[in-house]
Structure 1
């Protein structure tokens, strides 16, 4: 019986592969968006905060006693799992997964996808993860040391795991296609969307993708402080000022965005109500070790993304920068942008200066903002008013949003340890 079942399953799998091979593959289009970020809960609320240039960084309140050098953070202050995540599921998972589940639910609702009409094996999930479930893990470790192993919950084994969000989304929505997780810190959100496009080319019809992060517990904060790049400034208005003379590190945050990506032909066939844009190009690179004498490779990632999209620098209307807020890193990013587009040759923006860097959620949130810039013809500004550093000669959008027709946007992200990613999104013609 087991042998018969295995043979049948193999036959069904072969049939699915054959069907995918004969189906024409079109552009990878974003048909739904959901966001939970320091600027708000829901796509339009987060977008409004970005357009207003709202400073969503504030005092760090998620630590019971803040004896740490980090004084401010980008918190999702209005978010509670109760009422948004099923109670059974909420106790089995970390806050980071709660944010992913809610954002994914929003994205699927926005896409108006009838999941029951799609084969389970042709729906996929790819998320980005950076810290994993640190808050849940810390709580269980405290129980271990204070009360012993019998007091550690069974869900400790899965809730901290970096693939937990992917797994929970796929289970909740019956998605049994190729599911995975990308762990490249801030670059992960872009890498996950690129993997979603690959999944579509390999036969998937619909992919839920993006990333979130939530690591503002003591364990998570200590881990982040170890890189020596976090701002210790206590004034939210001055704590995170990328490309400026006052740049002194970045502020961490929590939250992110999830999107639904579909093959355009499939989206047309099911009558998807909207297309925010196309994932048109992607490039990645990895920096050499510090002290090696070899230059960083962000420009290589940009060049590869433009080549993959079959466009030139002149076609790009805006760049959403990585914007680390560390003087040397900002200088290197400015040099890479200038080398491709020319000095002040393209508008550059960093809305994350108002939310903090969201790690796995940061790239995905920037892609969402880029797609809404295309939709509404406006570029959100970079919060803050400090003078630009002399070694960052870029056209940084500041002081308020800039109205401009946006058809093509380039999003950049760098992950700690040397990861570089660049993603091109553009309007569908």
Structure 2
């Protein structure tokens, strides 16, 4: 019998709030959390807006020694992991260490830590960096710190596929469950807000240079002008269904039933919008592995990058999979937070699971007048009703495409 992967815990550190409950309340209010960058002075840069995690104090979540050794990106993940495990009522110390793993996503690593150390390297007579530079900046640092902190000895890893990575980590977690793991921590966070990191992001040509937070990030809208960056994300506890039932897990939010990943086969070019064909293939693979037809999906969370050419190809791919007048509704809240890269798709999964739990579809953010070619079945106000199956999609810079299907658990008897 196929082992089934379900999500039993959610942890969120995002611009929408600290904790899954705060995030959900902000989403339902449609409250925009994009504002001027405060983590450094952005006045010398064309982009000055971002989504920052409000009121985050590392001393509230980890001891001082660990804080000195790690970057803000890892702090956010460690805090989200603690919440996710608490939400799942799961203590890894009570399980065989080899049965618990962590598979998370990252692309930018420890930017703030690296910024500080590189400034020391080039501006001080010592010409040296601190002892923790190599382990704090490294893109796998967060997975390493999570496994050390919680004593996890199962096979763990990190995935790097830009914004698609949050979904890829969950797909890998489900595969690990099917291969014998009992619990896998998945998802991801980012903290790409430093002068160095912003300079790297500006090279993509995708960032909006607007200064009005309400106009800066408008995916699928005729006023779309790119996106703004953001920090944070979500960590999810993925667990084998019978294991969760046997221990009396307080929540079973949903089941990971299907996933698909493709690549466009070429690097992004200026003015291009990626491949609608390969993006659609990822969605179809996710549906096929779930045993679903397109009309079996109640709601889609799209990538919603806010770059007009990419918005058009995403809408084209969605219409190709679901039809020109789909029953399937579309919503996105990225305009409220900024683009969190790897953390953004993981946060979309957290939002989708809460939508399924409460039977509420949150309204789309940032879309007032859909651009030509971007006319989709957008949810314009919160709706109540049964929500059994949700698809979450993500695209990563340079051609990564990922799609994930979540279903409400209505039966615990076999697949």
- TM interval, short-chain normalised: over 0.9
Counterpart position of 1:135: 112
1:164 & 1:149 partners in 2: Cα distance? Answer: 26
1:186 aligns with 2:142: no
1:111 & 1:242 partners in 2: Cα distance? Answer: 34
1:61 aligns with 2:42: no
User: Equivalent residue of 1:29, what SS?
Assistant: strand
1:32 aligns with 2:48: no
User: Equivalent residue of 1:186, what SS?
Assistant: coil
**Conserved? CA contact 2:221–2:366, under 8 Å:** no
Aligned to 1:50, which of 27, 33, 38?
Answer: 27
Counterpart position of 2:359: 377
Superposed CA offset, 1:93-141 (max 9, x none): 0000000000000000000013232110110001100100011011001
| Structure 1 pair 136–294 and aligned structure 2 pair: CA distance change class (3 A) | closer
User: Equivalent residue of 2:163, what SS?
Assistant: helix
The correspondence of residues 261-410 of structure 1 with structure 2, limited to 5 A, is 261-289=238-266, 296-345=277-326, 346-384=328-366, 386-398=368-380, 400-410=381-391
**Conserved? CA contact 1:28–1:197, under 8 Å:** yes
Counterpart position of 2:62: 85
User: Equivalent residue of 1:82, what SS?
Assistant: helix
Counterpart position of 1:217: 194
**Conserved? CA contact 1:213–1:256, under 8 Å:** yes
How far off its partner does 1:149 sit? 4.7
Counterpart position of 1:173: 150
How far off its partner does 1:384 sit? 2.8
User: Equivalent residue of 1:396, what SS?
Assistant: coil
**Conserved? CA contact 2:34–2:336, under 8 Å:** yes
**Conserved? CA contact 1:354–1:382, under 8 Å:** no
Q: TM-score, normalised by structure 2?
A: 0.95
Counterpart position of 1:164: 141
Counterpart position of 1:117: 94
| Structure 1 pair 138–347 and aligned structure 2 pair: CA distance change class (3 A) | same
Aligned to 2:175, which of 198, 208, 212?
Answer: 198
**Conserved? CA contact 1:52–1:401, under 8 Å:** no
How far off its partner does 1:64 sit? 2.6
Q: Which runs of 5+ in 2 are unaligned?
A: 411-415
Provide the aligned C-alpha RMSD in A: 1.5
Counterpart position of 2:121: 144
2:150 & 2:3 partners in 1: Cα distance? Answer: 24
2:379 & 2:388 partners in 1: Cα distance? Answer: 17
Aligned residues: 405
How far off its partner does 1:61 sit? 1.7
Counterpart position of 1:18: none
User: Equivalent residue of 2:346, what SS?
Assistant: helix
Q: Which runs of 5+ in 1 are unaligned?
A: 1-23
2:323 & 2:279 partners in 1: Cα distance? Answer: 15
1:77 & 1:295 partners in 2: Cα distance? Answer: 36
Superposed CA offset, 1:206-245 (max 9, x none): 1111100001110010011110000111100010001110
How far off its partner does 1:51 sit? 1.1
| Structure 1 pair 344–70 and aligned structure 2 pair: CA distance change class (3 A) | farther
Aligned to 1:417, which of 398, 401, 414?
Answer: 398
